[in-house]
Structure 1
Amino acid sequence: MSIATERTFAPPGPGTWFLDPTHFTRPVTRFHAEIFIEEMHRGFGESLRRYGSLLERLDWAFVNGFCYYHPQPLGAPPDATDHPPREVWEHLAADHPEIRTRLATSATVFERKLWREDLRRWDEEVRPGLQRERRELQQVEPGLLDTGSLLAYLDRCREHQRRAGYLHHLFNMPALLPMGDLLAHCQEWTGRTTGEILAPLAGSSPDPLADREELAELAAAVAADPRASELLASSARPQELLAALGAVAGRTSTALAEYLATAGWRPVNGEDVGDPCVAELPAVVLAAIRSAVSSATKPQEDAPAEQRADAAADLRDAVPAPHRSRFDELLAEARLVSRLRDERGSCADLPAIGLTRRAILAAGRRLTEQGRIHAPAHLAEADYVELRALVRTGSGPDAAELASRAHYRDHARYADAPPMLGPPPGDPLPPDWLPPAAARLERALGAVVLAMFSNPAARTEGRTVHGLGASPGVYEGTARVISGVPEFDRIQPGDVLVTGATTTAFNIVLPLLGAIVTDRGGALSHAAIVAREFAIPGVVGCTDATAVIPDGAWVRVDGRAGEAAVVR
């Protein structure tokens, strides 16, 4: 029995609440939950309003650490589970000031291609601003600060994390609406699956790692330096080996420092201050370097580019001829903004979360040395008020309580959290009640939300699991069933990752993989996107892959059929 099943799961408010299968891989710390809820509400709410959506917001709450969301339509009471009668809706559309404003706004979105304006703002203002803030914070060594200065620095990191979270969700609509528009139209025109429609988007997010260039430079430096290459091939302890590589004079040490500065303080197994960062996992860093060095010595192939071109041509052929020019436009716009989905994490949330964790660990080490807590990372289990009190005066939850919270988060499983709390959901507002542009926007938003959050029903047959075929191709290799960060160092080049779900934080291990299989996730889940970008087979939303596929088994993954089978 999972530790989570021992707790009561009750709706956190009126209406229907759905388990979020996308943002987190395990229960969330109290510290992070406080930031996530407020900034998600604020950022996404502003984004919906800017684009004229009739969804006022997504309400979010954490139940026993698990994330649940509740869609709140504009003008509806909180406990509404269905759309109003048509005459009531027509009255609202005529007399509700905010509904009238949003209907007028939505009428201009597609003509203006509003997402292009937002993408320019992201590139020219928002992303550079976040990078400047991050560099300033990263130059401070928190372990050298006195208590008062450390708390002040922690406050700065927390505010940066809040701002990064807000900006991430402020750009939700430009990142997702063009994809949803492509989905909604192609589903109507072709009847193709979500995975097939999204396949031509592969290659439009060319840097999902956000540190690919730094890793490539490091690999090239190591390959060109006999001493560095000799060290990389040794069997020394990972921490000692990284230190030795960092001491190699010249290009190698500089490239390693740059890589760790870019990727080092980024969570690996989730999007939370309670999750370890790259710099804390030297074995994973070494595996990534070795994989990059190995890949750099192999001839490059154009197969992924050919696959993308073939997928686009095949999908276009399935579109009725009168609609193909519209298809070309929709695909071009979806490709244009595709990278924004990942960049909001790799350039905003994740490095900000990592810097906050770095400050928390510095404080946690002091409390551990004083015997106040059992391990530095346990301080991340405190909420913000508790954490400040513990650092300043030593008051607050004791070591046993923080250890208990850490134990729960380590062992509670998403599979044991109910997928829905509250009454069953009703039907959305019928599109034919809306003006054409508003109906188009709501269809697009509904399609992309479904692609992100829906999970196929379990269809296991013997030792074969079925899910959504997210990235085509067939691959056979060793299954590596991973439940958390402590197991990341077991991943070997060519392994098939079998896990509950991935987030942007998993990117450090992606270059090692031959295929991906997940329990949770839809066609726009992180695992699906990166499988397409890396041109490796991917099957997501299998429900029970981690229970059916044994660790170390030889598996065959068919990304087009959407299945993974144990061969031996």
Structure 2
Amino acid sequence: MNRPTPSAPTAFEAPGPGTWSVDAAHFPRPVSHFQAEIHPPGITSGFLECARRYGLLIDTLDFRFVNGFAYSSPVPAAEADIPERFTAAEEVFRTKIWREDLERWDRDVKPASIKTHQALLAVDPATLSDDELMTYVDRCRDNLQRMIHQHHSFNLAAILPVGDFMAHVGAWTSLPMGEFLALTRGSAPESAGSFPEMDRLAEEIRHRPDARERLECGQASAEILEQLRHESGSLGEATRAYLGVVGDRLLNSLDTAEPRAIEVPDALVARIRLAVAQPVHRDGAVTEGEVARLREKIPSEYHAQFDELLDEVRLMSRLRDERGFYSDVWAGGVMRRALLAAGERLAAEGRIDAAAHLIEASYEEIQALLRRAGGPGAAELAERARYRKEQRAENAPAELGDPASPPPPMDGLPLEVIRVMTALGTAIQSLGAGPRDQRDSPVIKGIGASPGTYSGRARVIDTIADLGRLEQGDVLITAATTDSFNIVLPLLGAIVTNAGGLLSHAAIVGREYGIPSVVGTRNATARIADGARVTVDGTTGDVRIDAP
């Protein structure tokens, strides 16, 4: 893929016919050459698989990277396939087909994924010969390819029930949708950073005064983790189990070029400290009183349907993030670990400036570099890394290609097809929709994604390395969050993002942990200074910068 150097003017051209929309919610900055190459085929094939199963009138999302930025364009289903799609759509809501997918996920897919990742992590790449390391890198890449496809093959199971719920509730009431979506709280504990392995580790530390003292001793976080990891007995076992679950997941990124959780030890140690001090989930599951209060806002003739739709959303809520946690988020971390090991050898030989720069290469270039048979030079790879660091999705065009046109009318289509497509459209719009930029407003406007009001210190997080600066009670101000950010979420008092909509990751995890969240502000990171005091209203979507 051709890409300009950081200092060169950047031209954006549509990668194909149609309208292409930037995906700033999942990819807030340009991705590495490696990721730009491996990601699109899995998204396209995975989406196609579930589109056929759920009777969509679109075939898939064509997903491409332009100058490293993610763009997508819907591909209509072929006319010859429409009768088959109609038949499939008729069964979706009657059989609640997503329940079959959830059962398959729990019974087969998730356990197999964990087993595969753990088997790859059992290999120490530092002990391999160069030829063995190349074979191992190939295995990790094959796994990542499968996991990207796997993630997106469960897209509709994860988002269609909630899209259907939102479409119906939106027709019944004009109240803020974030309040109704907050009724899912407690349905997806991992989205709130709650892991059995974390609970076990925190309990072990609470009963070991020497371990608590070590956690607060002022040593570097990496040293604290290493000491806990090498403890004998149950404490060491609990530490290794927790780090085994979260340590090799990508942290707040879907790009293999960005760090794993273990590479940001300050964030992990802060999370462990909080778990030791605060053993109980702050808000817990939603109460019947909360449900009843909002049910009263719905016309009474729809109460039974409201309850049924809410039950399905709660049931499927955890799949929204789990399909990433146990698929490409983990596989991407395993891949990064392998490439860093290979990069260290090349850096030691002076062929590249830093081990992580190897991930800036395409896979063909990586193979050439590992064989010492050509490939880009150190300066070129360093330039690619600098480009990714400097550029942001808010500076890329929101759309490329043909001007966006309204979707075709659905008049005359079977009712179940209309319901499927309406649910999908509602969900997709809620993944990344946001209001217009309002630079002159004294209040930063966004989408109220998780209700409540909170005032606290703003911590503007631009890179993964900044996560170590987060302290308990801070208000996170960032471009976007991704699945694995749940590891540090419990530290926060509120979340504010530039990108995203009601079903973006920041919205999901904010509601799950019960903290006010505002998404889709477009420019909060530019307007809010690090350390400023802000008030976040997760109901109205307003963020106010308070006087010092």
Unaligned residue ranges in structure 2 (runs of 5+): none
2:457 to 478, 493, 497: 478
The residue number in structure 2 matching 1:91 is: none
1:442 to 421, 424, 429: 421
The residue number in structure 2 matching 1:506 is: 485
The residue number in structure 1 matching 2:85 is: 102
Counterpart of 1:191 in structure 2: which amino acid? S
Q: Percent identity?
A: 45
Higher mean C-alpha deviation, range 413-422 or range 96-105: 96-105
Residues 199 and 311, structure 1, Cα contact 8 Å, conserved in 2: no
Counterpart of 1:289 in structure 2: which amino acid? I
The residue number in structure 2 matching 1:252 is: 235
Residues 6 and 386, structure 2, Cα contact 8 Å, conserved in 1: no
The residue number in structure 2 matching 1:231 is: 214
Moved over 6 A (4+): none
Could you tell me how far apart the structure 2 residues matched to 1:137 and 1:245 are?
Answer: 23
Higher mean C-alpha deviation, range 40-49 or range 245-254: 245-254
1:418 aligns with 2:397: yes
- The alpha carbon displacement at 1:209 in A equals 5.6
Could you tell me how far apart the structure 2 residues matched to 1:552 and 1:292 are?
Answer: 25
Residues 4 and 416, structure 1, Cα contact 8 Å, conserved in 2: no
The residue number in structure 1 matching 2:385 is: 406
* 1:456-494 superposed Cα distances (whole Å, 9 cap, x missing partner): 212355552111111111111110001011211111111
- The alpha carbon displacement at 1:394 in A equals 4.8
| Structure 2 CA distance for partners of 1:408 and 1:70, relative to 1, 3 Å | same
Q: Taking structure 1 as the reference length, what is the TM-score of the superposition?
A: 0.92
| Structure 2 CA distance for partners of 1:545 and 1:273, relative to 1, 3 Å | same
Residues 259 and 464, structure 2, Cα contact 8 Å, conserved in 1: yes
SS at match of 2:350: coil
- The alpha carbon displacement at 1:269 in A equals 2.8
1:324 aligns with 2:303: yes
Counterpart of 2:20 in structure 1: which amino acid? W
2:13 to 5, 10, 13: 10
Q: Taking structure 2 as the reference length, what is the TM-score of the superposition?
A: 0.96
Could you tell me how far apart the structure 2 residues matched to 1:377 and 1:466 are?
Answer: 37
- The alpha carbon displacement at 1:121 in A equals 0.7
* 1:414-453 superposed Cα distances (whole Å, 9 cap, x missing partner): 1101111122211212222211110111111110011112
2:344 to 361, 365, 377: 365
Counterpart of 1:130 in structure 2: which amino acid? S
1:163 aligns with 2:163: no
SS at match of 2:278: helix
Residues 209 and 346, structure 1, Cα contact 8 Å, conserved in 2: no
Counterpart of 1:126 in structure 2: which amino acid? V
1:351 aligns with 2:330: yes
SS at match of 2:249: coil
| Structure 2 CA distance for partners of 1:493 and 1:443, relative to 1, 3 Å | same
The residue number in structure 1 matching 2:278 is: 295
2:55 to 24, 39, 52: 52
2:166 to 179, 183, 200: 183
The residue number in structure 2 matching 1:265 is: 248
The residue number in structure 1 matching 2:111 is: 128
Could you tell me how far apart the structure 2 residues matched to 1:144 and 1:41 are?
Answer: 36
Q: How many residues align?
A: 543
| Structure 2 CA distance for partners of 1:245 and 1:285, relative to 1, 3 Å | same
| Structure 2 CA distance for partners of 1:5 and 1:123, relative to 1, 3 Å | farther
Counterpart of 2:29 in structure 1: which amino acid? R
Could you tell me how far apart the structure 2 residues matched to 1:493 and 1:418 are?
Answer: 36
Could you tell me how far apart the structure 2 residues matched to 1:527 and 1:47 are?
Answer: 24
SS at match of 2:157: helix
Could you tell me how far apart the structure 2 residues matched to 1:261 and 1:533 are?
Answer: 23
- The alpha carbon displacement at 1:238 in A equals 2.1
| Structure 2 CA distance for partners of 1:362 and 1:300, relative to 1, 3 Å | closer
Could you tell me how far apart the structure 2 residues matched to 1:73 and 1:4 are?
Answer: 38
Residues 193 and 489, structure 2, Cα contact 8 Å, conserved in 1: no
Could you tell me how far apart the structure 1 residues matched to 2:495 and 2:103 are?
Answer: 33
